[in-house]
Structure 1
């Protein structure tokens, strides 16, 4: 479930939403490298900035999901998506997967807004990715028929390590991780149908 053996074309065909997210966040990162004032303006408008949200810039709940603070940040989140998103996209279907991914990311950013100070700024897909972990956690706890015991052990181990690293590493949006995880956990029963295919 978490080992990718598809070639490039097959991956795109089987997981179009995951592919689109990966391509979009890479394209945005490349564009934001261009040293132009207009590009910097768009970058500034897309970051998660609590003061901006407090002044009516509601799009900042969503746009930070697609931008990253550096190549290593982009690479780590892209690898997490590459490994953990395809299984859920196949299980949920394209539309439900996309709603859960961005929904959990927005929930993570809403939690960030209400708990962090107004001057707090953040970027990254971590809240959305933790939302995927929340869906997997729901499956492990309540829909065991959808995932084999070996995959369940893998996801629980990775989740435990990820939560631990959230509180150890610096420059981590802890609230996005926590609320993204809770968001995925809450959204899972709404979008996991009785007939969902498992692994």
Structure 2
């Protein structure tokens, strides 16, 4: 390895190759990108899109397992679509959202926690597969931190719309995943060109598929899906994508607020379940 290679690092903000000795990143303007506070194993880890996506998936799986453990329904009961399905009491205690949890119990925090609860094995499997496929592209075009904010805020928008529409009880990561799809719809249409049009057509196919799926399969929260898509478009427009503006300290702060609010809502759900079933 040459001395020049040893002095090269990836900018902790825009992830482009620069010299460690740069006073500021020539690409995004981040000051002192080579300082230990901004470029260490911990900050590199939490700033990695792949690691954050895996973390989101892990939290979803953990909450699904917890819902099965506190459920009074036998795990093996039911057919293909109801196998490994927690009962409604466990999901309600852990943070399902809708008119019943919010109006009857005042659980506005469930607008966040419901994004991490699922009603069955196929439910969580399909949502996590979609998340694993779509989130890296959103992180690539918007940045890791803005991807977190889009996922969180669009999920809340989806469930807020379904609450206004009168949906009594709902769960699942699909509202947040639809938010990621919405942000890519905005990105593709706004960017234009061959690449932008290709992205728009690809995610447009997802939207059509979700709409048709919601018409055919009973129990699908189409209000949550639609609200998530619209929320993703709006949040993507407000935050902007990388080709227009690199991620800033404000983007990281907003993502941190979203993460802390999510942790708090899940903690409230776990505490609620503890007092309900233990």
TM-score (ref. length: structure 1):
0.82
Q: Establish whether residue 74 from structure 1 lines up as the match of residue 109 from structure 2.
A: no
Listed one character per residue, the Cα deviations across residues 51-100 of structure 1 (whole Å, up to 9, x for unaligned) are 22124211111111001000000000000001111111232222211111
Q: Establish whether residue 31 from structure 1 lines up as the match of residue 80 from structure 2.
A: no
Any idea what SS the aligned residue of 1:58 has? coil
Any idea what SS the aligned residue of 2:126 has? helix
Q: Establish whether residue 86 from structure 1 lines up as the match of residue 136 from structure 2.
A: yes
Listed one character per residue, the Cα deviations across residues 100-152 of structure 1 (whole Å, up to 9, x for unaligned) are 101011001111111115xx111101111111111111122212259454443
Tell me the C-alpha RMSD between the 2 structures. 2.6
Moved more, 179-188 or 157-166: 157-166
216, 222, 229: which one pairs with 1:168? 216
Alignment of 1:180-199 (within 5 A): 180-193=228-241, 194-195=244-245
CA distance in 2, matches of 1:21, 1:83: 13
Richer in helix (by share): 1
Q: Which runs of 5+ in 2 are unaligned?
A: 1-46, 73-85, 248-278
Q: Establish whether residue 111 from structure 1 lines up as the match of residue 161 from structure 2.
A: yes
**C-alpha contact (below 8 Å) 1:108/1:176 kept by paired residues:** yes
- In the TM superposition, structure 1's runs of 4+ consecutive aligned residues that sit over 6 Å from their partners are 39-42
Shift of 1:49: 3.5
Give the aligned length.
Answer: 184
Listed one character per residue, the Cα deviations across residues 141-191 of structure 1 (whole Å, up to 9, x for unaligned) are 212259454443322222222222222221101110111111111111112
Alignment of 1:35-184 (within 5 A): 35=70, 43-45=91-93, 46-55=95-104, 56-116=106-166, 120-144=168-192, 147-184=195-232
Bigger Rg over Cα: 2
